[in-house]
Amino acid sequence: MKYIKTGLCIFIAFVFIQSLFFKFSGSPETEFIFGTLGEWSGQAWFGKYGAYMVGIVELIASILLFTRLHALGAFLAVGTMTGAIFFHLFTPIGVAQPAFNEAGEVVGNDGGTLFVMACLVWLSAAFLLYQTRKGDREEVD
């Protein structure tokens, strides 16, 4: 079971860390997602700063997953991905995201890859939380 937990932590951290480039560089994908959410919510500041806020939380979660506070990292991952899944399903950004070329022009869509990754991270983090809770009960018994 230890290898499964470690593998899931590595998977979550990989997904989060590779997405930091997009969130912190102002990529067209990030501008589309957070700009759309900012307009939809009427919170223009979210369109401008939301990616940075989410990226910082994902970075903290990634680090915590490999410490004795791994349950907190998993909790942050579940919370962050719950928001992502909600926004994909119930706002104008939708499930399939536009794909952009180097010039920032839309050249297709991602076929829902970003949404699927959010779901996989959510499931992985939820499993880690369940296993942590299950381990706590076994120690008490």
Q: Which residues of the chain have pLDDT under 50?
A: 139-141
pLDDT of residue 139: 43
pLDDT at 135: 67
Measured in degrees and rounded to the nearest 5, phi and psi for residue 50 equal -60, -40
pLDDT at 140: 35
- The pLDDT, as a whole number, for residue 102 is 86
Q: Which residue is listed with tokens 């700009």?
A: 35
The pLDDT value given to residue 141 = 38
Closest CA to 93 of 31, 43, 23, 140: 31
What's residue 137's pLDDT? 52
Domain chopping of the chain, boundaries: 1-139
Question: How many residues appear in the chain?
Answer: 141
pLDDT at 134: 72
Tell me the C-alpha distance between 34 and 23, whole Å: 9
CA neighbor of 118 nearest in space, from 8, 16, 38, 4: 16
Give the pTM.
0.90
For 8-32, write each residue's pLDDT tens digit. 999 999 999 999 999 999 899 999 9
